[in-house]
């Protein structure tokens, strides 16, 4: 029985161990993550000293539970449209450079780490928006360092410059530049169209020059062919005449030889038959002489014909040469006319191209001048506004300072008056004291009113006194003195009574008429 229990326990232990091993294997198998070819496996958590994440492209890795986790980054390329408008070039000309950029997450280890740190939890629209802002800024920077000709004509260098500026900035966030496609390049001042029209005009002019050159070469070839034909015909005619003359000469030689042979035969026959031909010797000699005369006449006639033929051939050759020279002159004339016409057309095209270039330069210059004027006007307006604000602030501060000064003066006066009233005992006594302080100033003002009068320069028309009263001159002086207000009266007007030692106004004596009435 114990043996059976021991065997059962051993079997259960073995099954437990197998179950544990199988569960462990399944658990670790579930934690082993494989990376597809179009993704990057990012393992984050406790991945190593100084590392924020471990990136794997291809293959797989075991993700430890509790201390590690994982996520995927897609390598699918993103196409970003960049409708760049009004970017300033090196020549301060605004250009439109609509383009399409294709970017993606890089598989370079360093750049993959940047992508894991900056793009892991972002959606694709957020990533595209971030890349678009970077591309916009770097594309404007690239255009600002190039001229219109470099941007439009040397596209390869332009794309190289774009890559050199854009790709390092994209690498900082884990992206790399796959492709750049520039759809079209235009500018607001139509400078690029002017360059195209100039190039088209130059190509057309070159084509016209080439056509004229080929026409000239064709005419020259035709003239040379005609000249060669004329020379060959003349040579054949001359060879024919030479053959004819040689045949005639051979004929004459043969005739002479035959005649000599005949004469020798006749002489032998004569010697042999002296007797029989004696009667015919004279006739024979006559016939011989006639034959010789006829022979000489015939030979001279043939020579004359030969010379005539030679002269005719020479005349034909001269005529042919004259015709050839005339045709060559005509061909040269047509070629020269065509060349001059081509030069005229070239000069017209050059003038038109120069006019277009000058128009483009003038438009650009006027645009730059307009911008300068606008900037100067804005700067002047801003300066005027700031000066006005400064002057207004200065005036305000001045008035505020004056107001503070006046307020302090008034406050000081109020405090002084308050102390004076307390010292004098009441307000009336204080007013009397203040009035006494001002008497000296009032007297000074009265003296100042008459001190500059020159009595010797005053003329008084006096008719005398008929009724015994004072004269007009004395009345003028008394009136002048009495016109000044007495101090006692001024003090009374202020409610103050001056002491007696300052003097009093004497009562006016009654006149004689008033005394008589009394």
Q: Are 140 and 269 found together in one domain?
A: no
Q: Which helix (H) or strand (E) holds 468?
A: none
For residue 480, give Cα distances in angstroms to 446, 463, 468, 484: 12, 19, 21, 7
d(CA 130, CA 452): 93
pLDDT tens readout for residues 463-485? 555 455 555 555 555 555 555 55
Residue 166's pLDDT is 92
Give 186: exposed, middle or buried? Use CB within 10 Å, 0-12, 13-18, 19+. middle
CATH number at residue 139: 3.30.479.30
Q: Is residue 511 part of a domain?
A: no
Q: Are 152 and 255 found together in one domain?
A: no
Q: Are 97 and 177 found together in one domain?
A: yes
Q: Is residue 413 part of a domain?
A: no
Mean pLDDT of the chain: 76
Residue 504's pLDDT is 54
Q: Is residue 23 part of a domain?
A: yes
Is pLDDT at 105 greater than 80 in this prediction?
A: yes
Q: Is residue 100 part of a domain?
A: yes
Q: What is residue 486's three-state secondary structure? A: coil
Q: Are 62 and 167 found together in one domain?
A: no
Which sign does the torsion angle of CA 501, 505, 509, 514 carry? negative
Q: Are 124 and 164 found together in one domain?
A: yes
Q: Is residue 457 part of a domain?
A: no
- Count of C-beta atoms within a 10 Å radius of residue 359: 12
d(CA 426, CA 89): 88
Mean pLDDT throughout 21-44?
78
**Phi, psi angle pair for 81, to nearest 5°:** -85, 130
Q: What is residue 278's three-state secondary structure? A: coil
Residue 53's pLDDT is 85
Check if the beta carbon of residue 148 is closer than 8 Å to that of residue 73.
no
DSSP letter (8 states) at residue 177: E
More confident call, 182 vs 274: 182
Q: What is residue 338's three-state secondary structure? A: helix
Is pLDDT at 299 greater than 90 in this prediction?
A: no
d(CA 51, CA 109): 12
C-alpha angle 484-487-492 in degrees, rounded to nearest 5: 115
Strands (E), 185-256: 186-187
Mean pLDDT throughout 124-151?
89
Q: Is residue 17 part of a domain?
A: yes
Listed residue (249, 149, 244) closest to 191, CA to CA: 149
d(CA 324, CA 305): 28
**Phi, psi angle pair for 60, to nearest 5°:** -160, 180
Q: Are 39 and 129 found together in one domain?
A: no
Q: Are 96 and 38 found together in one domain?
A: no
C-alpha torsion angle, residues 163, 168, 170, 174 (rounded to 10): 130
Residue that is last in its domain, among 156, 172, 188? 188
* pTM of the shown model: 0.36
Range of the domain at 350: 195-387
pLDDT tens readout for residues 330-343? 878 887 888 888 88
**Phi, psi angle pair for 177, to nearest 5°:** -85, 120
Q: Are 298 and 378 found together in one domain?
A: yes
Q: Is residue 244 part of a domain?
A: yes
- Count of C-beta atoms within a 10 Å radius of residue 177: 20
Q: Are 249 and 214 found together in one domain?
A: yes
Q: Are 66 and 101 found together in one domain?
A: no
Mean pLDDT throughout 115-138?
89
Residue that is last in its domain, among 188, 213, 229? 188
Q: Is residue 102 part of a domain?
A: yes
Neighbour-count burial for 460-494, b at 16+ CB within 10 Å, e otherwise? eeeeeeeeeeeeeeeeeeeeeeeeeeebeebbeee
Residue that is last in its domain, among 160, 188, 216? 188
d(CA 341, CA 55): 74
Q: Are 24 and 164 found together in one domain?
A: no
- Count of C-beta atoms within a 10 Å radius of residue 370: 10
Is pLDDT at 3 greater than 80 in this prediction?
A: no
Best mean pLDDT range from 4-13, 111-120, 486-495: 111-120
For residue 350, give Cα distances in angstroms to 149, 190, 194: 20, 19, 13
- Residues in CB range of 280: below 8 A, 6 or more apart: none
Number of structural domains found in the chain: 4
Listed residue (255, 266, 258, 257) closest to 288, CA to CA: 266
- Residues in CB range of 138: below 8 A, 6 or more apart: 162, 165, 166, 169
Check if the beta carbon of residue 346 is closer than 8 Å to that of residue 205.
yes
Mean pLDDT throughout 372-392?
86
Cα-only R_g, the chain: 69
pLDDT band, residue 501 (cuts 50/70/90) = very low
pLDDT tens readout for residues 142-167? 988 888 888 877 788 888 889 999 99
Mean pLDDT throughout 185-214?
71
Give 239: exposed, middle or buried? Use CB within 10 Å, 0-12, 13-18, 19+. exposed
Which sign does the torsion angle of CA 11, 16, 19, 24 carry? negative
Q: Which two tokens stand for residue 494?
A: 């202020």
Q: Are 330 and 199 found together in one domain?
A: yes
């Amino acid at each position: 029985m114990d043996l059976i229990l021991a065997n059962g326990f051993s079997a259960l232990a073995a099954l437990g161990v197998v179950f544990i091993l199988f569960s462990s294997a399944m658990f670790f198998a579930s934690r082993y993550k494989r990376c597809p070819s179009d993704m990057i496996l990012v393992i984050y958590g406790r991945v190593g000293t100084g590392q924020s994440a471990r990136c794997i492209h291809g293959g797989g890795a075991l993700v430890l539970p509790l201390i590690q986790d994982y996520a995927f980054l897609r390598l699918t390329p993103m196409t970003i449209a960049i409708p760049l408008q009004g970017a300033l070039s090196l020549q301060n000309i605004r250009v439109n450079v609509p383009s399409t950029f294709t970017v993606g997450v890089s598989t370079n280890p360093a750049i993959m780490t940047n992508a894991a740190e900056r793009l892991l939890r972002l959606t694709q629209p957020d990533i595209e928006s971030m890349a678009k802002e970077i591309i916009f800024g770097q594309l404007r920077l690239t255009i600002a360092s190039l001229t219109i000709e470099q941007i439009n004509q040397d596209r390869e260098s332009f794309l190289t410059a774009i890559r050199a500026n854009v790709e390092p900035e994209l690498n900082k966030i884990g992206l790399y530049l796959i492709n750049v496609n520039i759809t079209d390049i235009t500018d607001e001042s139509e400078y690029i169209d002017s360059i195209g029209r100039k190039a088209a005009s130059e190509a057309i002019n070159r084509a016209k020059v080439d056509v004229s050159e080929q026409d000239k070469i064709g005419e020259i070839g035709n003239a040379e062919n005609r000249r060669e034909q004329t020379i060959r015909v003349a040579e054949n005619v001359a060879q024919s005449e030479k053959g004819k003359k040689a045949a005639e000469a051979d004929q004459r030689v043969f005739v002479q030889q035959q005649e000599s042979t005949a004469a020798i035969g006749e002489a032998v026959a004569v010697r042999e038959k002296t007797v029989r031909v004696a009667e015919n010797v004279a006739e024979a000699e006559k016939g011989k002489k006639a034959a010789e005369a006829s022979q000489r006449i015939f030979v001279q006639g043939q020579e004359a014909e030969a010379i005539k033929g030679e002269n005719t051939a020479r005349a034909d050759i001269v005529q042919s040469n004259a015709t050839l020279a005339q045709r060559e002159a005509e061909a040269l004339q047509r070629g020269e006319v065509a060349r001059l016409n081509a030069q005229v057309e070239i000069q017209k095209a050059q003038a038109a191209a120069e006019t277009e270039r000058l128009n483009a330069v003038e438009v650009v210059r006027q645009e730059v001048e307009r911008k300068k004027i606008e900037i100067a006007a804005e700067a002047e307006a801003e300066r005027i506004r700031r000066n006005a604000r400064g002057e207004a602030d200065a005036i305000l501060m001045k008035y505020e300072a004056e107001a503070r000064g006046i307020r302090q003066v008034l406050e000081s006066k109020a405090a002084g008056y308050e102390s004076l009233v307390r010292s004098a005992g009441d307000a009336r006594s204080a007013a009397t004291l203040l009035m006494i302080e001002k008497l000296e100033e009032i007297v000074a003002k009265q003296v100042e009113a008459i001190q500059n009068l020159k009595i010797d320069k005053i003329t008084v028309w006096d008719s005398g006194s008929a009724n015994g009263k004072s004269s007009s001159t004395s009345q003028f002086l008394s009136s002048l003195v009495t016109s000044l207000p007495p101090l006692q009266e001024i003090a009374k007007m202020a409610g103050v009574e001056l002491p007696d030692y300052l003097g009093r106004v004497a009562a006016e004596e009654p006149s004689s008429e008033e005394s008589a009435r009394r």
